[in-house]
Amino acid sequence: MELYQLRAFVTVAELRHLTRAAEKLHVSQPALSGQIRALEEALGTELFDRGPGGMSLTPAGTHLLPLAERVLATAADLRREALALKGQVRGKLHVGTVLEPGYLRVGEFLARLVERFPHIDVDLHQRFSGEALEQVREGGLDACFYFGDPPQAPLAGRRLRPMSYRVIVPLERAERVAKAGWAELAAMPWITTPQKSSHRLLMTRMFAEHGLEAHRAAEADQEAVVADLVASGVGLSLAREEVALAGRDAGRWAVWEPVRMMTALWFVYRADRAKDPLIRALLAALDSIWTAADAPAVSGSEALSR
């Protein structure tokens, strides 16, 4: 049997779907199916029951899965130790980003990473926060920037900085909004962002605390577009405090003073990869940009207790 066959077994067991597993492993579905069949022949037992609803483990598959996971973990440890002995860290990483690069200090971060670890190749992928977390959890991304609640197991992360969001209001609605209660405010037109964005979650929470839901007038997937729609009078929305105050001072919109929604910016990775030299290289570069005081490490289990 081969390691790639064990990896196929573990991935299909995790996702319970051949097509999704093939996408995650970047192979064709027939090739993945062939790998599973070959492993079953080598082991002399069927690992999966195939049905219209997907792939489910047989009793033998359930028994053998932890062993396969341990073999893969041991192989990964072996490779990490070999690289450490050579004094080299090399490989390819996929890192998710949110918001604009300047706010995340992505340029400084990658410059430091390339300087200290020249054999690491990084691909950046722009994502919504919820989408990025999901892909790190499933292995599609190695790590990501993210703003929102502390990461939960199986994820871990570093808190980079606190963030606050303010309600921004079209100038022509400012006087009415200043006198409005929550019910009237919710009935006004709001600019929202896609479902998997932390911006959307903050807005939903803000109104849910009062048993309300915002009236959606439009949806935009970029912060700059949201800002332009508010400035054009389309509706209200949330914006990062520095953006909100700068726009207010420039006469683009008003800020509703009673509300400040607090959150935080994180750098997130899988907790079971905390000792991976590639992840450690990312964190070393990150720590050289963001001060230790602003970036305490937190595991998923620790995050739940905060």
| Residue 61 CB neighbours (<10 A) | 21
CA-wise closest residue to 287 among 295, 278, 279? 295
3-state secondary structure of 146: strand
Surface-to-core class of residue 32, CB atoms within 10 Å of its CB (0-12 exposed, 13-18 middle, 19+ buried): buried
pTM equals 0.66
CA distance 291 to 161: 10
Answer yes or no: are the C-beta atoms of 223 and 99 closer than 8 Å. yes
CA 74 to chain centre: 27
Answer yes or no: are the C-beta atoms of 144 and 270 closer than 8 Å. no
Q: Copy the structure tokens of residue 87.
A: 């004094």
Q: Return the ∠ at Cα 26 (arms to 54 and 139), rounded to 5°.
A: 80
All residues at 6 or more sequence positions from 70 whose CB lies less than 8 Å from its CB, including other chains: none
Q: Which amino acid makes up residue 1?
A: M
Q: How confident is the model at residue 37 (pLDDT cuts 50, 70, 90)?
A: very high
Give the pLDDT confidence of 226-254 residue by residue, as tens digits: 999 999 999 999 999 999 999 999 999 99
Answer yes or no: are the C-beta atoms of 289 and 108 closer than 8 Å. yes
Give the pLDDT confidence of 173-202 residue by residue, as tens digits: 999 999 999 999 999 999 999 888 889 999
Q: Which residues pair with residue 12 across a beta bridge?
A: none
Give the pLDDT confidence of 69-120 residue by residue, as tens digits: 999 888 887 876 776 655 577 888 999 998 888 888 999 999 999 988 888 9
DSSP designation for 266? E
CA distance 135 to 130: 9
Q: Copy the structure tokens of residue 200.
A: 């959307």
All residues at 6 or more sequence positions from 302 whose CB lies less than 8 Å from its CB, including other chains: none
